[in-house]
Amino acid sequence: MSAPSPASLHTFLAHCRTLLGDGHVLTLADEMAPFLTDWRGRFTGSALAVLRPATVEQVADTVRACARWRVPVVPQGGKTGLVLGGVPDASGTAVVLSLARLNRVRAVDPLNRTMTVDAGCVLQAIQQEAAAHDCLFPLSLAAEGSCTIGGNLSTNAGGTAVLRYGNTRELCLGLEVVTPRGEIWDGLRGLRKDNTGYDLRDLYIGAEGTLGVITGAVLKLYPRPKAGITALAALPSPAAALRLLALMQGHCGASLTGFELMSSFCLGLVARQFPGLPRPFEGGHAAHAQYVLMELSSSESEAHAVGLLERAMGEALEQGVVEDAVVAKSVAQSQGLWRLREHIPLAQAKAGKNIKHDISLPVSSIPAFIEQTAPLLERAFPGCQLVCFGHMGDGNLHFNVAPPEHVPHEEFLANQAEVNRVVHDSVARFDGSISAEHGIGALKRDELLRYKSPLEMNLMRAIKDALDPLGIMNPGKIL
Amino acid sequence: MSAPSPASLHTFLAHCRTLLGDGHVLTLADEMAPFLTDWRGRFTGSALAVLRPATVEQVADTVRACARWRVPVVPQGGKTGLVLGGVPDASGTAVVLSLARLNRVRAVDPLNRTMTVDAGCVLQAIQQEAAAHDCLFPLSLAAEGSCTIGGNLSTNAGGTAVLRYGNTRELCLGLEVVTPRGEIWDGLRGLRKDNTGYDLRDLYIGAEGTLGVITGAVLKLYPRPKAGITALAALPSPAAALRLLALMQGHCGASLTGFELMSSFCLGLVARQFPGLPRPFEGGHAAHAQYVLMELSSSESEAHAVGLLERAMGEALEQGVVEDAVVAKSVAQSQGLWRLREHIPLAQAKAGKNIKHDISLPVSSIPAFIEQTAPLLERAFPGCQLVCFGHMGDGNLHFNVAPPEHVPHEEFLANQAEVNRVVHDSVARFDGSISAEHGIGALKRDELLRYKSPLEMNLMRAIKDALDPLGIMNPGKIL
């Protein structure tokens, strides 16, 4: 794509002002700054302008202008992504297309169990709207107060309820997308079954804005569970956690809605950094190797959930799969247990930066993966500390590597590429994925090239070229 | 695509014989006949040859030869499709590529709850293999004794368990596909989360063999429910059935695994054609307008399932949503109730051909759709009889139209195009789909063109051209 001339860019921006109004075409550095730096503050890009359309038609008009003037488009939601997918590169040639002003809930159909929303709706607002109709929208993740559903869809976000309800892809029935030509594809269907041609919906979901701009969606709702119960189990090993998962799923079926693994080191880190949080087990955290946080939901009653959990945990204790367990006796205690899990990333941040991996594996391979990968890291970086936790029920580990004690964090970060290599090579040996729920963005492009087959890259490039022949959609992301 | 010369076709067939062995390149009319006629016996195509590879490599070699000699390829599984997707057209220029010899279960991983299979495995064999590992593969449909998983995937088959477990798309984690160039894409991943680029898997699923040949898949397994219970409820109207669905889902959550609507006319038809089957309600079938067959599954116990059903049905009777209900007291009684549902298509066939529609709607629109469409049909074809039944929980109706009494079936079939028009126009007004679970194939191509937007057709054609630039994969299907 040849760069447009300064004079033509001037005309382009004037055209955008006509389309959106002066106040929604930001070009001053101060105005643009909040849109250019990523969530973790690791990268600041540059942009020609930040455009803030308010309607789907304005999005289409804007993208049509970008196509005409050959201006790259970076769609942006809540900007909470972790792989630099929603911020522009340093060239300053692209516009940021913020979807924040498209934030209406368009319709709720409780009997069809669907909600139709604008892409810029904040996830938490959608959860609340569902609850107001006595329904559940199950997508739930740490950034839910800021992230938007358009971003969740574009990255196929995961979160804590995937075990029962699936990823964002499984929670979406229909989409509205502005194509790179500025056409509006109305795929806002609220159907559970529809076999009429290629699955465009799932192609746009997870494409991280490289094939078009998601502007609206039909989301799936579920009946709200009547009760939930939380338990924390202490176990001797990841292998025991795998046995516990099978046992719980056999007993509880779809009632098991969460199964989070946390190493002893993780809970120790949380206890050191946040001494005010509960310590569920006496004798400290060194006593057991692993912990599993479990959530059960019942469509019937609290007594049903308690009964289910008691029977399953009774068997687990009897079989020696679990060494100890605490069950939350109140909503407050349940929240206290979840806070332990949620504070792991915060405790890491307080302790200093580490090298993060968002990987997935066949669930059955998790024990062997940990067992084989930890010594490889120890050999390469003696004394390094593993912060291993994650959504074990989905095979998704956050397998982070912190420096040895007394080694400065910044110094250790220089090893990022080699640490990635050890971890991702091991992931590849187990037929896992180097990005379970965060996506590729700009951050993991080189890793993708390394681990995907040339054929799969070619198939993806063929699709990209077919749907975005000018190459204006979020260039430099994924491919 | 220009047609190859006879001499070059002779060389092509000789090459295929070298690849597959003489016995697996069928060219005699008698040998080819079983591969050329569709399941319902409505259409017989013609082929250059029937090719029967035994391995993925042989499939790839064969497709590479087809690409080289520009020979169209029609992939074929169990040939139970209902839209002529797996049989060749009348031109005689294509080869049928039968996947029947690729029928190995490659691996079962009970702790990852996955099974890796060849595309030619018969669905029932997969169900049995899952059961042998104390797991459930939930896909279930009438043709399960003959259909193959490759066909199920290529058509994104639905069936009777979609309400709980989703369509075939939701039951597949990974794919192996031979591309139209004869390359083997190894996407056989057994991961619950994998956000590394475009969703090629879901693009091939439901593409009806027009983008490549599915040769293998990683399927999701579930814990086997410990108990199931079946009930049949009599209701005054489709609106009452909608209320019952909401009530049952609220009470039972994921335990509600089946919810099938059948009109009084359907059960009357079954009773007339199969007088030996049970008649669950005294006083005959004319007394109530609608019937709902419900299946509950419990991961706990039979007592749990019974308790759930009793509480929910108690409330439904109290609220007047349900007029009467019978609950199966044994496995035999349960099978008896399901036989009523399963015999509707057989009763139709015995009564004579009718005009079939496989439609889906937002679940909440089903009562209004039936209420508005039935009079339109009556006005256009006075006395015509509606055979309306289907997977109501998924919004999927088989909305078939039989001739008025004393009008010969063959004579009435001449109205097919007009009947389709009335029904499909009404579906479009309700934002429904003209093919819920059967696909498009060759049969519904014109209907697809009529009801899809030109933009969506263009997007699909762009993908087709990008992935199959020679246009050799199952030409004349879908697009």
pLDDT digits (tens, 9 = 90+) for A27-66: 999 999 999 999 888 899 999 999 999 999 999 999 999 9
Which listed CATH number (3.30.70.2190, 3.20.20.330, 3.40.710.10, 3.40.47.10) goes with A225-349? 3.30.70.2190
Nearest residue, CB atoms, A193 vs list B162, B164, B203:
B162
* The predicted structure's pLDDT at residue B2: 65
Query: Which of B396, B459, B477 has the most A C-beta neighbours within 10 Å, making it the best mutation to test the interface with A?
Result: B459
Residue B375 Cα, gap to closest chain A Cα (Å)? 24
- Contact across the interface for A196 and B452, Cβ inside 8 Å: yes
CA distances to A86, A130, A183 from A52, rounded to whole Å, are 14, 27, 18
* The predicted structure's pLDDT at residue A287: 63
Give the E-state strand segments of A10-112 in sequence order.
25-26, 49-51, 73-76, 95-98, 105-109
Please name every residue paired with B117 in a beta bridge, in sequence order, or none if there are none.
Answer: B105, B217
| Residues B30 and B58: beta-carbon distance below 8 Å | no
Query: Which of A451, A459, A467 has the most B C-beta neighbours within 10 Å, making it the best mutation to test the interface with B?
Result: A459
Please name every residue paired with B184 in a beta bridge, in sequence order, or none if there are none.
Answer: B178
* CA nearest neighbour of A370 among A350, A352, A386, A349: A386
Instruction: Report long-range pairs for B377-383 (Cβ below 8 Å, ≥24 apart).
Output: B377/B401, B377/B419, B377/B422, B377/B423, B380/B418, B380/B419, B380/B422, B381/B412, B381/B415, B381/B419, B383/B407
Query: Which of A172, A195, A451 has the most B C-beta neighbours within 10 Å, making it the best mutation to test the interface with B?
Result: A195
Domain pair B105-223 / B352-436, same fold: no
SS3 B97: strand
Q: Which H or E run contains A410? A: helix A409-413
ipTM greater than 0.85 = yes
| Residues B148 and B121: beta-carbon distance below 8 Å | yes
Which residue type occupies B13?
L
* CA nearest neighbour of B153 among B460, B470, B439: B439
- Contact across the interface for A254 and B254, Cβ inside 8 Å: yes
**Contacts B185 to A, Cβ<8 Å:** 453, 455-456, 459
Counting DSSP H helices and E strands in chain A, the numbers are 16, 18
- Dihedral-angle region of residue A414 (phi above 0 means left; psi in -120 to 50 means alpha; beta otherwise): alpha
Per DSSP bridges, beta strands A396-402 and A385-391 are antiparallel
- CA distance from start to end of chain A: 15
Q: pLDDT tens across A384-427, in order? A: 999 999 999 999 999 999 999 999 999 999 999 999 999 999 99
| Residues A107 and A115: beta-carbon distance below 8 Å | yes
Chain A within 8 Å of B303 (Cβ-Cβ)?
A: no
| Cα separation, B462 vs A471, whole angstroms | 15
Contacts (Cβ under 8 Å, ≥6 apart) of A258 = A160, A161, A163, A164, A293, A294, A295, A393
Contacts (Cβ under 8 Å, ≥6 apart) of B378 = B384
| Cα separation, A305 vs A300, whole angstroms | 8
Chain B residues 407-436 with a CB less than 8 Å from chain A? 431-436
**CB-CB neighbours of B382 under 10 Å:** 8
Residue A204 Cα, gap to closest chain B Cα (Å)? 8
| Cα separation, A416 vs A409, whole angstroms | 11
Chain A within 8 Å of B198 (Cβ-Cβ)?
A: yes
Residue B361 Cα, gap to closest chain A Cα (Å)? 6
- Contact across the interface for B394 and A114, Cβ inside 8 Å: no
Spell out a b/e string for A22-59, using b for 16 or more CB atoms within 10 Å of the CB, else e.
eebbbeeeeebeebbebbeeeeebebbbbbbbbebebb
The stretch A195-214 carries a mean pLDDT of: 98
* CA nearest neighbour of A208 among A8, A399, A448, A376: A448
Q: Which H or E run contains A232? A: strand A227-235
Evaluated on CA atoms B16, B18, B23, B27, the torsion sign reads positive
CA distances to A90, B85, B211, B476 from B479, rounded to whole Å, are 42, 11, 11, 6
Question: Which residues does chain B have with pLDDT short of 70?
Answer: 1-2, 282-287
Residue B246 Cα, gap to closest chain A Cα (Å)? 7
Above 90 in pLDDT, residue A152? yes
How many angstroms from the chain centroid is the CA of residue B392?
Answer: 15
Residue B279 Cα, gap to closest chain A Cα (Å)? 31
Contacts (Cβ under 8 Å, ≥6 apart) of B12 = B4, B65, B66, B68, B69, B71
| Residues B360 and B439: beta-carbon distance below 8 Å | no
SS3 B245: helix
The stretch A87-98 carries a mean pLDDT of: 98
| Cα separation, B404 vs A435, whole angstroms | 59
Please name every residue paired with B41 in a beta bridge, in sequence order, or none if there are none.
Answer: none
Percent of chain A residues past pLDDT 90, beyond the cut: 94
Percent of chain A residues past pLDDT 70, beyond the cut: 98
Chain B residues 95-134 with a CB less than 8 Å from chain A? 109-114
Please name every residue paired with B401 in a beta bridge, in sequence order, or none if there are none.
Answer: B355, B386
Please name every residue paired with B290 in a beta bridge, in sequence order, or none if there are none.
Answer: B235, B263
- CATH class of the region B228-340: alpha beta
* The predicted structure's pLDDT at residue B283: 62
| Residues A3 and A45: beta-carbon distance below 8 Å | no
Comparing alpha-carbon positions, the chain B residue that sits nearest to A365 is B112
Q: Which fold has domain A105-223?
A: 3.30.465
Nearest residue, CB atoms, A438 vs list B113, B195, B223:
B195
| Residues A30 and A37: beta-carbon distance below 8 Å | no
Instruction: Report long-range pairs for A370-375 (Cβ below 8 Å, ≥24 apart).
Output: A370/A238, A370/A397, A371/A238, A372/A426, A373/A399, A373/A422, A373/A423, A373/A426
Spell out a b/e string for A196-235, using b for 16 or more CB atoms within 10 Å of the CB, else e.
bbbbbbbbbbbbbbbbbbbbbbbbbbbbbbbebbbbbbbb
| Cα separation, B41 vs B327, whole angstroms | 38
Per-residue tokens: A205: 């979901």
CA distances to B116, B141, B388 from B134, rounded to whole Å, are 16, 20, 36
Please name every residue paired with B316 in a beta bridge, in sequence order, or none if there are none.
Answer: none
Chain B residues 9-38 with a CB less than 8 Å from chain A? none
* The predicted structure's pLDDT at residue A285: 52
Q: What is the DSSP secondary structure assignment for residue A473, as one 8-state letter? A: B
Tell me the domain boundaries of chain B.
105-223, 228-340, 352-436
* CA nearest neighbour of A147 among A137, A157, A138: A157
* The predicted structure's pLDDT at residue B284: 57
**Contacts A298 to B, Cβ<8 Å:** 253
Chain B residues 372-411 with a CB less than 8 Å from chain A? 391, 393-396
Q: Which fold has domain B352-436?
A: Alpha-Beta Plaits (3.30.70)
